[in-house]
Amino acid sequence: MGSRSFVGLILGIAGAMAYREYQALRTYDYSFDRNGDRWPDDITHYERGIPIWRHMDENFDGRTDYWEYYNADGEKTERSERDNNFDGKVDGWGKWRDGQVVEIQSDTDFNGQPDVTEFYSNCLLTSIEWRPNGTNIVTARHNYLHGNPTEELRDLDYDGYFDVSVKFDRFFQPISTNHLRRSTIP
């Protein structure tokens, strides 16, 4: 009777290991209900045990609003997309490097063209640029240091040159405004 128990134990362990391998090799979705309404609103898709993408319904209306795509190892985000106004169309695009966001483009007037680009370094905002409807002219730029605003530059006549510079103190209060003469700041 002792040897049968031992054989049963070995077969049980082998079966559990085989099932675990089977789980790792198959394709499946892991769903999570974040608001408790019994509908999944956070879904991660796995292939061979590696996460490939994640979709989320951020406003709980039953439609996906955020998409995240992972690298081949499934360890780091490579890119993301977002529906900021919940109309079913993507109007935000994120670029990632080594699992950290480096750039986010947004279509603020929802016409399909990015208008605002946010730049990040080590997950901290470094600058924001406004380019109307994806043009090459930067009409405004906000510079940040350690995630805090330091300067705002504006191109008032849309000629491709900044006309005004506003500097901020560490409490986000403007401390100086300078009118620039034909600045060559791109």
In angstroms, the Cα distances linking 115 to 80, 88, 109 are 17, 19, 8
pLDDT, tens digit (0-9, with 9 covering 90-100), for 42-68: 999 999 889 999 999 999 999 999 999
Mean pLDDT score of the chain, rounded to an integer?
88
Q: For the chain, give every domain's residue range.
A: 26-179
CB 124 within 8 A of CB 144: yes
Within 13 Å of residue 19, how many CA atoms lie on the same side as its CB?
6
Predicted local distance difference test score (pLDDT) of residue 186: 54
Name the pLDDT band for 138 (thresholds 50, 70, 90): very high
Residue 87: band (very low, low, confident or very high) from pLDDT cuts 50, 70, 90: very high
Say how many residues make up the chain.
186
Task: List pLDDT tens digits, range 30-45.
Answer: 999 999 999 999 999 9
Which amino acid belongs to residue 138?
V
- In the numeric block, which tokens belong to residue 23? 């789980």
Per-residue CA distances from 22 to 72, 83, 125, 140 (Å) = 20, 36, 43, 54
Q: What is the pLDDT of residue 22?
A: 67
pLDDT of residue 165: 95
Cβ burial of 84 (10 Å; 0-12, 13-18, 19+) is: middle
The pTM (predicted TM-score) of the whole model is 0.77
Nearest CA among 98, 127, 109, 19 for reference residue 117: 127
**pLDDT tier at 1 (50, 70, 90 boundaries)?**
low
What pLDDT was estimated at residue 65? Answer: 95
Q: For 45, left (φ over 0), alpha (ψ -120 to 50), or beta?
A: beta
pLDDT category of residue 121 using cuts at 50, 70 and 90:
very high
Average pLDDT over residues 93-118: 94
The residue ranking higher by pLDDT, 107 or 25, is 107
